[in-house]
């Protein structure tokens, strides 16, 4: 073959190759779905994630429950104080209604009153049962709770030293089986309803007595908790 012909062939081959390359690029572009590059990258990444994580990440539930509450219920979690510095906490519908962060927790008995119809907090207060004579004000507070309200009670540190008989009577009248068993620094949590009945079978009360020989925090009892779901008012 003469050199000139070789050259022409080379040029022809080059043009043919270019057309082929362009055409295959064009085909690819047509075949790839019309999505922005970033989301295509995302889906590739999420596919990669799915390959790595065989189980889906657990979803965080209201009030840090393990399983979610059914629809039309309120989630709650009551935690007593533990040791000297772990403050009591009350969570309702995923909102901290009593706790250190909300600045409304203290030594003694901590109480929150919630409107059962709306789920809105009506009042919160703590009553020092060690340093002051607060049984009277606490009894008034409890008795002042309107009908159709939920009452949540948790101890922090000591809730018994100056808890008098009238106060115990008022709390027992709301269904507490343990209030009369309170001792120095017993941990106690209690949920009750005023003006209606809570369904049987939901966690309502727990107590643990301080025992210097066994306590997790020497002189202070361990935190205890109850949690669950309160069915909302049928509408």
Contact yes or no for 196/224 (Cβ under 8 A): no
* Least distance to ligand NAG, CB of residue 58, Å: 24
Structure tokens at 72: 């039309």
* Helix, strand, coil percentages in the chain from 3-state DSSP, rounded to 5: 30, 25, 45
Cα–Cα distances (Å) from 150 to 35, 176, 213, in that order, read 52, 14, 36
Out of 150, 153, 224, 230, point to the residue binding ligand NAG (CB under 6 A). 224
Judged by CB under 6 A, which stretch of 93-101, 168-176, 192-200, 208-216 contacts ligand NAG?
A: 208-216
Judged by CB under 6 A, which stretch of 65-73, 85-93, 123-131, 207-215 contacts ligand NAG?
A: 207-215
Answer yes or no whether residue 117 interacts with ligand NAG by CB under 6 A: yes
Give the β-pairing of 95-98 and 89-92: antiparallel
Answer yes or no whether residue 214 interacts with ligand NAG by CB under 6 A: yes
Site string for ligand NAG, 159-198 (x = CB under 6 A): ----------------------------------------
Between 164 and 203, CB nearer to ligand NAG: 203
Contacts of the segment 172-178: beta carbons below 8 A, 24+ positions apart: 174/142, 175/204, 176/205, 177/205, 178/205, 178/206, 178/207
Between 128 and 223, CB nearer to ligand NAG: 223
Q: Tell me how far apart the alpha carbons of residues 159 and 162 are, in angstroms, rounded to a whole number.
A: 8
Answer yes or no whether residue 146 interacts with ligand NAG by CB under 6 A: yes
Count Cβ neighbours within 10 Å for each residue of 195-208 and write b for 16 or more, e otherwise.
eeebeeeeebbbbb
Chain residue at closest Cβ approach to ligand NAG: 211
Q: Tell me how far apart the alpha carbons of residues 210 and 24 are, in angstroms, rounded to a whole number.
A: 79
Out of 215, 226, 227, 230, point to the residue binding ligand NAG (CB under 6 A). 215
Answer yes or no whether residue 122 interacts with ligand NAG by CB under 6 A: yes
- What are the residues binding ligand NAG (CB under 6 A)? 115, 117-118, 122, 146, 208, 211, 214-215, 222, 224
């Amino acid at each position: 073959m003469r050199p000139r012909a070789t050259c022409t062939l080379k040029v022809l081959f080059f043009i043919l190759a270019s057309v082929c390359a362009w055409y295959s690029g064009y085909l690819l572009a047509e075949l790839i779905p019309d999505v922005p590059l970033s989301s295509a990258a995302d889906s590739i990444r999420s596919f990669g994630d799915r390959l790595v994580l065989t189980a889906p990440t657990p979803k965080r539930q209201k009030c840090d429950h393990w399983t979610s509450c059914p629809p039309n219920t309120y989630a709650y979690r009551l935690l007593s104080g533990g040791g000297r510095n772990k403050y009591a906490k009350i969570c309702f519908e995923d909102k901290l209604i009593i706790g250190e962060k909300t600045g409304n927790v203290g030594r003694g008995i901590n109480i929150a009153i919630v409107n059962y119809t709306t789920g809105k907090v009506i009042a919160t207060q703590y009553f020092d049962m060690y340093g002051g004579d607060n049984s009277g004000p606490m009894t008034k507070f409890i008795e002042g709770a309107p009908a159709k309200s939920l009452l949540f009670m948790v101890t922090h540190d000591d809730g018994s030293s100056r808890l008098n008989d009238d106060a115990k009577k008022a709390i027992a009248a709301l269904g507490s089986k343990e209030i009369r068993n309170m001792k120095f620094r017993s941990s106690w949590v209690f949920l009750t309803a005023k003006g209606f009945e809570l369904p049987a079978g939901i966690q309502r009360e727990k107590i643990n007595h301080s025992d210097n020989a066994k306590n997790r925090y020497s002189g202070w009892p361990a935190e205890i908790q109850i949690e669950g779901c309160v069915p909302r008012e049928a509408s």
